[in-house]
Amino acid sequence: MNAETPRRRILLVNGPNLNLLGTRQPEIYGKATLSDVERITTEAAAAAGYEVRSVQSNHEGALIDAIHAARADCSGIVINPGGLTHTSVALRDALTGVSIPFAEVHISDVHAREEFRHFSYLEDVAAVRVIGEGVDGYANAVRQLTALIP
Distances (CA, A) of 32 to 8, 101, 135, 143: 27, 26, 7, 20
List Cβ neighbours of 101 (8 Å cut-off, separation of 6 or more): 75, 76, 77, 127, 128, 145, 148, 149
Question: Measured between alpha carbons, how far is 146 from 150 in angstroms, rounded to an integer?
Answer: 8
Q: Is 106 a catalytic residue?
A: yes
Q: Which of 50, 106, 121, 138 is catalytic?
A: 106
Q: Is 50 a catalytic residue?
A: no
Q: Which of 29, 50, 121, 138 is catalytic?
A: 29
Binding site members for substrate: 80, 86, 93, 107-108, 117
The catalytic site residues sit at: 29, 106
